[in-house]
Amino acid sequence: MIKLRKDIKLDKGNWTEQGDKDLVSKWKKSKRLNFRLNHLKPDENIERINIQNELFKFIGPNAVVATPFYCDLGFNTSIGEGSLINSNCVFLDTDDLTIGKYTLIGPGVHIYCADHLTDTKLRVIPKDDKLNDGNYSYIDGKGRFDEDMDYTITVFSRPVSIGDNCWIGGGSIIMSGVKIGDNVIVGAGSVVTHDIPSNTTVIGRPARIINKD
């Protein structure tokens, strides 16, 4: 795990380093399961159920995950009873990703638990850097990185939750840390950057409330 400098304060979330051995091992297992899921024949229903039960933290009865489908880890994702994940969805589930009951996730929806800081010095760091000494000697006065050093990428993750009876329109993007209530409609192609209360319809980039029940 990467240590934060003392002058950096975050309300919540988890830090990790791409290259963390335990995470890489789990990621590889997920990718193998994800590959098998995406290459099943349409009538291989028993195998599909078995793979989904192994891949996901929870998947409820009568939930459907259409392929192709892509996720980072799988074991952080919970999908409620009767929900439908349409084809070509991407889940960057580096933290808890929870979808309620009877929720529709349209084709091509992306859900991102993973995030990165805008400060390049904290996003791209030397592999042996601890991020707690304030030493940026690998960057010159013009902000250029030392090309002789090996670097890694830091990732900050926050949970995403979507309630019951929602409809997330195709091509929408749900950003890190977002909570969506029950009975919410997200218009196709929207980018959801903030929490959405129950019983509302939102649309846009970024998504804005256009109707409340």
Give the residue numbers marked as catalytic.
116
CA-CA-CA-CA torsion sign (21, 23, 26, 28): negative
Q: In what order do the strands lie in the sheet with 77-79?
A: 58-59, 77-79, 97-99, 160-162, 179-180
Whole-number Å distance between alpha carbons of 197 and 189: 19
No. of H helices and E strands in the chain? 3, 21
Q: What is the dihedral of CA 124, 129, 135, 138, to 10 degrees?
A: -60
Q: What is the dihedral of CA 46, 49, 52, 58, to 10 degrees?
A: -160
Q: In the chain, which ranges are continuous DSSP H helix?
A: 21-38, 45-55, 120-123
Which residue carries 């909570």 as its tokens?
Answer: 179
As given in the structure block, the two tokens for residue 51 are 């793979």
